[in-house]
Structure 1
Amino acid sequence: MKTDFKLLNLLGTVYRQGNLVYSEGGTRLLSPVGNRVTSFDLVNNRSFTYNYEHRRNIVRIALNRQGTLMITVDETGRAILVNAVARTVLHHFNFLDTVQDISFSPDGQYFAIACGRFVQVWKTPDVGEDRQFAPFVRHRVYAGHFADVTSVTWSEDSRFFISTSKDMTSRIFSLHSDEKDVAMTLAGHRDYVIKAFFNDTQEIIYTLSKDGALFRWEYTAKPAEDEDEEMDEDEDERPMSWRITAKNFFHADTKVKCADFHAKSNMLVVGFYNGEFRLYELPEFTMIQQLSMGQNAVDTVSINESGEWLAFGSGRLGQLLVYEWQSESYVLKQQGYFDRPNALCYSPDGSRLVTASDDGKIKVWDVSSGFCLCTFSEHQGAVTGVQFAKRGQVLFSSSMDGTVRAWDMIRFRNFRTFTADKRLQFNTLAVDPSGEVVVAGSQDSFEIYVWSVQTAQLLDSLTGHEGPVSCLAFGSENSVLASASWDSTVRVWNIFGRTQTVEPIEVTSDVLSLAMRPDSKELAVSTLDGHVAIYDVEDARQLHLIDGRKDIRAGRYLEDRFASSNAARSKHFTTVSYSRDGTALVAAGNNNTICMYDVANEVLVKRFTVSQNLTLDGTQQMLNSSKITSAGTSIDAVDRDGENLDREDREDLALPGSQRGDPLVRSVRAAVGVTAVEFSPTLAAFAAATVSEGLLIFSIAQDVVFDPFDLDVDITPAATVEVLREQEYLTALVMAFRLNERWLVQKVYEAVPLGDVQLVCTSLPQVYVQRLLLYIGESLVRDDSAHMEYHLVWVRRLLAAHGRYISDHKQEFGCLKLIQRFLSRVGKDVVSVGRRNGHVLRYLEGVEAEEGEEEDEEEVDEDEDEDLDADDSDEGEWIAPKKNQAPF
């Protein structure tokens, strides 16, 4: 079994705080999720999380226009430079102060940061420059503001930038010293200036303040005070400067939180503290749309390059929205958990992942895309367990509300509800491999309850334990049930015989978790003393014993006055899971460690760190005495929110001591930990449900895909063209895809005759269907006027030939969104044009019908003349045929 697992994705957390950044094409969105960054591919319906971490939560992200370099900055001003394409870390740097904004220049040669009261401009690292010791070289520091700078905006030619500040002013700076005369202060607002923008021609500047005032500035001459002065001086002789030419106000009941401006379309998007956002068209200040995304503030907004998609983030809700304002539809709508997840399970085919949480919600995740497919919210209490039936079409869940529910995963609905003969809170769940029986245990009773899935009737209750039942587990091969209880025993049951197969297994310590090997021959038991014991199911004999105490790295908490090595907290595993082949075991607990063991040799194979975020308890290792006050408390534990100038930042809606809900506003620090872990049935990944980070997916890298099609042929562009000349279109198309050259694919694709499209689509290997649809979608979006009908014929033939394969692999065909996006846009245009020209179309149809009737009358007259001529002619005389007419 391979063990080179790496972090692939982070689910359940889509946005925490900071700004959202689009890629150059506007099809990829970068979102800060705590101390990591997640990339969402909005077209191909995929996502991944960068493998590096910050020591604090990320507050700003910047991506250069070329899409190659990305800079992320955390709360303490520490920055990481990343190669966005290769996903590798290039350099670490510390700006030594809180960074409010960071932005690359459009040409990519510089980037500016708002650090305190100053604006710093740095040169972008470039491999073409001379060798230098420091990757970051500071170009210049710009001063002039009397309070913290809130934002920095570049001009399109990368020569100037505008900085806004809390001192209610904006300042224009030039990048080069020879243009320093353009520096100017724009004053007049009565509240913080949160953003400033250049228009497309750079002749107009818009400044937006927190109180909802939008000023338009133009570079004009000073207006004359009276008519005499106007007559004495010409307009060209008056001094020129930036002046306010228009003032507009939003007149909202709350203040402005964020804004973004699209210069090409003159569209302004504004987000407010009450969850409302508006779209305006400038310079007329015409409101296009007004919508709301909830009751909480819109923390950030971003517009993609084409101006079609708007991205919104709400940190209090943990919500991320991508909204297409023209069609008034959502491209992406995701929201994380309010409470920590309690349980997780993979579907039998490994394509889906289900998590359950304390807030009573069950979420179904698509593993390949990383998006939530469905949310079940019928439970009225915390959900404690989820489990799939063997075929994967039915999901079972147990809850503290006293019910066990069965869910149809095809129609996404609840079709069975199981209850006991008395009110109980179920804390554990197990499902028979056949899917006919479901069992659940409770801490309120010493019995194990058995229900029939078909009739939803309570069949029996297994008695024998002398304490509350804490864990249940079935194998995958037969109906052998293992149960653990507070009476320090583990019992193995024959579920259909309703008897115990062996004597109870005595355990020296409390059982925290147990897992049955898929072949139901071994049982792994995790205990409070930090051991994982492996037992033989048939004779209850201990086979292996793994000591996990030496492998667990439990960090120190904020109030601890000792190092983590001296802590006795969380030196045990609370969840264990077998791999499908039974050779490996993954274990985790309320600590910062996930351990993978080789069961046969009882050795640690690999250890994973859950998080390096120092804002969480349990991540620090050493005691830092410099952060301890004279009273013995930590400096980080002092609440400084009351020192904030803004009333909105001082508000805390959380209850005192609350540990649930939004982790950003809780008054008790979150602690790192893992509540559930499980191997994927494919052996290529495993998932860990964490307390504060979300759902971590660790996977084996599979970047190289072997394709042995036509391996004995020398595939070159020249050979592809030669095959195309021989009119072997299918072979030429496959060879072009193998070479992965767009110009060659276009040449072969456009050379296929319309009559052969159906034959090529029918014979096309399934491995190339997704690539061909992606090429067609990109061609439609890139040039929607050329070969439109030809492209749509290809799409229709591909769907007809491979529709079942596409339906079974929906997660791989995100490219269909490109085609759907094109059709929705063009379809609306065609309908609107047809409505506007309805009278013209009816007139043309009428004219065509009249012309057709006249032609028919002329043909009838000609036929009558021919018949008369035939009658007048002699019977045996040969008549010469007319032109284009057969002689017989």
Structure 2
Amino acid sequence: MERSCFDGVNVEVERLFIGAGCNRVLNNVSWGPSGLVAFGAQNAVGVFCPKSAQILTTLPGHKAVVNCTQWLPSSKDAYKVQHAVKHYLLSGSADGVIMLWEFHTIERKWRHVLQIPEIHKRSVTCFTGIMLSGNIGIFASTSSDGSIALWEIVLPIGINDECKISCLQSLSVGLKPVVALSLAKLPDDEENIVLATGGLDNKIHLYCGGHKGKFVHSCELKAHMDWIRSLDFSLPICLDGGKKSLLLVSSSQDKTIRIWKLSLRGSSSYSEVPYRKEDIGLTSFIEGPLFLAGNMSYQVSLESLLVGHEDWVYSVMWQPPLSATSNGVECYQPLSILSASMDKTMMIWKPEKITGIWVNIVTVGELSHSALGFYGGHWAPDGESILAHGYGGSFYLWKNVGLDCENWKPHKVPSGHFAAVCDIAWSKSGEYVLSVSNDQTTRVFSTWRDELSLGTRVPWHEIARPQVHGHDINCVTIIKGAGNHKFVSGAEEKVARVFEAPLSFLKTLNHAVFQKSSFENPQDVKILGANMSALGLSQKPIYAQAVSEASNRVKEEVLDSLETIPDAMPVVLKEPPVEEQLAWHTLWPESHKLYGHGNELFSLCCDHEGKLVASSCKAQSVAVAEIWLWEVGSWKAVGRLQSHSLTVTKIEFSHDDSFLLAVSRDRQFSVFAIEKSGDEISHRLITKQEAHKRIIWACSWNPFCHQFATGSRDKTVKIWGVNNSTSSSVKQITSLPNFKESVTVLSWLGRDRSSNTGILAVGMDDGLIELWNVSGGVNPWLPFNTVVALRFDPYLCHVSTVHRLAWSSDDAGDSKTMQLASCGGDHCVRVFEVRLN
């Protein structure tokens, strides 16, 4: 929460919700012993709580896409620092930068500790780390520049101590980069550490070194036939008569998983070397090479080959250690491995009790439109939950709810877009936020109330995915006025598409907002949902009669295989949906296509009566840059407004719908008078002015009178007034002080009509948001008073360009609490609560 005060009024802002998807890269997710999951969300590090299924924060600082994260201590080392108040998180990005973050488990606060000196020249791709003691650890990082860096980290003990990180060693691996790492302490050896690496040469390389570095290449393991994607060491395990061995699990794009055993042979002599090249008999393949560590030698052998996945295996991980005693001081390694694959499944592997043969005992997965599967799988610290992240930027969580036997059920996780979010709009009554993105989806986010949440903070969830499209979606507007919920979206095609809420969504919305009805006559809606077409470019309605016939037909038919894609079956959701339900069963039917524009759609808006929709597209000439007016209902084109020579970037109706404002890349704005007489719509250009020195990205009308604000790349915001007597002249009233970054979006909220007081929300190119109090100028020609009310803390804001800001209501009235939604290039949708005291 953040507070500020102006003119005796206290302004408080609290972030209610973050919706964001996971970057679609390997090694991007880390589940720490604090119970929190860290992941990369564009240039930010996102953190979510699996218990509440809410994203808690995004950590700003990286200037490039975040590729990998790693908790210190990890879940594997949690028993060494059980009562640690502070946990640490590493994050690496595509520009070679590594950052360290501190999380205070009691205060629940985050702090940026330091940025590690740049060793890597290119993208950081993988982390691994172990704690040597309660406050000293070693971690390794690898990069696409063909290097591996080994670091020592000293965590603070005292209150005034700071973290210290030093580079112990940098290893060069040549032209074929390493993409998988794992570190472990050797059994019965307190001095030496083993580092396993794997990558594009299809081999596993083992390095040995001490606590202060000096790692040397000891041996290589050849067995996989394709790139090695994941490696993970177990804790030492007693397998052979009490002798401790170390197990290494590896996965590859050859669709197999291999388990390797490092067992102590005894003291080594310099004459004892790994098998020679000419010694290629059967014995060498069974026993494997010798691994030398100081004066000790270890035999490396292939313990098991696991075959079951049908596609690349991107991730393997040992189950985190479990407490062997009540106080948790001693831990043991469960013999359980989690694998995740591009075949859309995760598997849990365990050895049979009698034979010791490793078998697959659990398989979970998803059915989706996507042809690609999981990038990674992760254990919860207690081993009772498993998490996957997939191609669609989505998370999947299964919990073991069985008592006597394993029974894994899907559970709710945070969700959101996995590409830039271009536009958002509030529903007519403010029940939900609709967002569109370059990830080719439209999503609905809403609070989900139940009896238990009454009187408490109500969590937000994604409750529907109305549109899954074949093109990047650029803009959206919700149709206001009476009737069913409708919206119009525009994508990188020349067509605007109209969607109408089906009965399944209306009933789901009633459960979500916990009220009797959000629609007068839901029984009048005959369409239950929608089905995706073969090419993914249109969504066909599903009628009630068709659903009953389909259910009868399915009972008679038997599906040939899992590859058969079933028809969507619209369902009324009584609890927040999981990813598979969102992807399949929450589509809205498409009712109309609006043809006319010559290029891809760029901006849309609807008037306040719900009778007209205006649209614009990308343009480089006057003819293409025209604004089209569409009549809601008949969806006929009733006007083509010409004024600008380049793309019209934003259009908005005044609050009495008498004017239409347009701003453009040509640095000018236009004001059109819109007149409605019966079924006839007429329009005329009132004025066209060059308002800024650079592209005008944003505009917003004052809810109380004919005044509007414009914002530009020239870092300025100007306020203008339309002369009500003549309606033919526009004059600049005032200008806000110059901002530090380009202004990309504006949204004006009315507070007090008598004094013409309001709040202007300003979003900028660097992701920051400011609130400005604007008042006075009851007559449009009188001076205006402007003062900054609040600058949002960077931890609350976006880390890339803010694309849209939207208040849940244009006029706050007597309410002291308002909600502000935002979206940006960082893949995030955010909802804030703004309070005035």
Aligned equivalents of 2:346 and 2:23: distance in 1? 18
3-state secondary structure, aligned to 1:579: strand
Aligned equivalents of 2:172 and 2:116: distance in 1? 25
Aligned equivalents of 1:699 and 1:105: distance in 2? 39
1:563: which partner in 2?
none
Aligned equivalents of 2:593 and 2:262: distance in 1? 71
1:135 aligned partner, one-letter code:
C
Q: CA 1:268–1:493 in structure 2 vs 1: closer, same or farther (change >3 Å)? A: same
1:261: which partner in 2?
318
1:405: which partner in 2?
499
1:697 aligned partner, one-letter code:
R
Indicate whether 1:586 and 2:761 are aligned. Answer: yes
Q: Is the contact made by 2:496 and 2:595 (CA closer than 8 Å) also made in structure 1?
A: no
Q: What does the per-residue CA deviation read over 1:341-395, in whole Å, with 9 as the maximum and x for residues that have no partner?
A: 3321234665632112356532112376564221112777645322263799724
Q: CA 1:370–1:29 in structure 2 vs 1: closer, same or farther (change >3 Å)? A: farther
Indicate whether 1:439 and 2:597 are aligned. Answer: no
1:641: which partner in 2?
none
Q: CA 1:349–1:199 in structure 2 vs 1: closer, same or farther (change >3 Å)? A: farther
Q: CA 1:188–1:606 in structure 2 vs 1: closer, same or farther (change >3 Å)? A: same
Indicate whether 1:319 and 2:394 are aligned. Answer: yes
1:149-548 map, 5 Å: 150-154=180-184, 162-166=194-198, 168-169=203-204, 171=206, 187=221, 189=223, 194-198=230-234, 201=237, 203-204=244-245, 205-208=247-250, 210=252, 211=254, 212-217=256-261, 219=263, 241-244=298-301, 246-250=303-307, 255-262=312-319, 265-272=334-341, 277-282=346-351, 284-290=357-363, 294-296=370-372, 298-314=374-390, 317-324=392-399, 326-332=406-412, 336-337=416-417, 340-347=420-427, 352-357=432-437, 361-366=441-446, 369=459, 371-377=461-467, 382=473, 384-387=475-478, 389=480, 394-399=485-490, 400-407=494-501, 410-411=506-507, 414=588, 417=591, 428-433=603-608, 437-441=611-615, 448-451=629-632, 456-457=633-634, 461=638, 472-474=651-653, 478=656, 480-484=658-662, 489-493=670-674, 495=676, 504-509=685-690, 513-519=698-704, 521-525=706-710, 532-536=718-722, 538-539=724-725, 540=727, 542=730, 544-547=732-735
Q: Is the contact made by 1:7 and 1:49 (CA closer than 8 Å) also made in structure 2?
A: no
CA-atom RMSD, angstroms?
A: 5.1
Q: CA 1:351–1:448 in structure 2 vs 1: closer, same or farther (change >3 Å)? A: closer
Q: CA 1:551–1:527 in structure 2 vs 1: closer, same or farther (change >3 Å)? A: closer
Aligned equivalents of 1:591 and 1:390: distance in 2? 35
2:383 aligned partner, one-letter code:
G
Q: Going by fraction, where is strand more abundant, 1 or 2?
A: 2
Q: Is the contact made by 2:29 and 2:69 (CA closer than 8 Å) also made in structure 1?
A: yes
1:688: which partner in 2?
822
Q: CA 1:214–1:361 in structure 2 vs 1: closer, same or farther (change >3 Å)? A: closer
1:100: which partner in 2?
126
How big is the shift at 1:449? 2.7
3-state secondary structure, aligned to 2:720: strand
Aligned equivalents of 2:444 and 2:704: distance in 1? 27
Which of 164, 172, 186 matches 1:136?
164
Q: Is the contact made by 1:361 and 1:383 (CA closer than 8 Å) also made in structure 2?
A: no
Q: What does the per-residue CA deviation read over 1:186-225, in whole Å, with 9 as the maximum and x for residues that have no partner?
A: 7454577641322574634133253535134263769xx9
For the pair shown, which has the larger CA radius of gyration, 1 or 2?
A: 1
Which of 55, 67, 85 matches 1:59?
67
Aligned equivalents of 1:371 and 1:553: distance in 2? 32
Aligned equivalents of 1:519 and 1:593: distance in 2? 27
2:102 aligned partner, one-letter code:
V
1:663-678 map, 5 Å: 673-678=801-806
1:410 aligned partner, one-letter code:
L
3-state secondary structure, aligned to 1:410: helix
Q: Is the contact made by 2:341 and 2:376 (CA closer than 8 Å) also made in structure 1?
A: no
3-state secondary structure, aligned to 2:37: strand
Aligned equivalents of 1:62 and 1:421: distance in 2? 49
2:135: which partner in 1?
109
Structure 1: runs of 5+ lacking an equivalent: 227-238, 555-572, 620-671, 707-888
Q: CA 1:458–1:354 in structure 2 vs 1: closer, same or farther (change >3 Å)? A: closer
Q: Going by fraction, where is helix more abundant, 1 or 2?
A: 1
Report the identity percentage: 10
Q: CA 1:338–1:20 in structure 2 vs 1: closer, same or farther (change >3 Å)? A: closer
TM-score by length of 2: 0.59
3-state secondary structure, aligned to 2:506: coil
How big is the shift at 1:331? 2.1
1:24: which partner in 2?
33
Q: CA 1:104–1:391 in structure 2 vs 1: closer, same or farther (change >3 Å)? A: farther
Structure 2: runs of 5+ lacking an equivalent: 1-8, 79-83, 239-243, 267-281, 284-295, 321-332, 401-405, 448-457, 509-528, 530-587, 618-623, 752-756, 775-783
Which of 91, 105, 115 matches 1:73?
91
2:434 aligned partner, one-letter code:
V
Aligned equivalents of 1:328 and 1:438: distance in 2? 50
Aligned equivalents of 2:307 and 2:222: distance in 1? 17
Q: What does the per-residue CA deviation read over 1:536-565, in whole Å, with 9 as the maximum and x for residues that have no partner?
A: 4744465754547942525xxxxxxxxxxx
Q: Is the contact made by 1:398 and 1:427 (CA closer than 8 Å) also made in structure 2?
A: no
Indicate whether 1:697 and 2:805 are aligned. Answer: no
TM-score by length of 1: 0.56
Q: Is the contact made by 1:257 and 1:271 (CA closer than 8 Å) also made in structure 2?
A: yes
1:126 aligned partner, one-letter code:
P
Q: CA 1:347–1:546 in structure 2 vs 1: closer, same or farther (change >3 Å)? A: farther
Q: Is the contact made by 2:399 and 2:408 (CA closer than 8 Å) also made in structure 1?
A: yes
1:473 aligned partner, one-letter code:
E
1:33-44 map, 5 Å: 33-44=41-52
How big is the shift at 1:127? 3.1
3-state secondary structure, aligned to 2:119: coil
The alignment covers a number of residue pairs equal to 603
How big is the shift at 1:56? 3.4
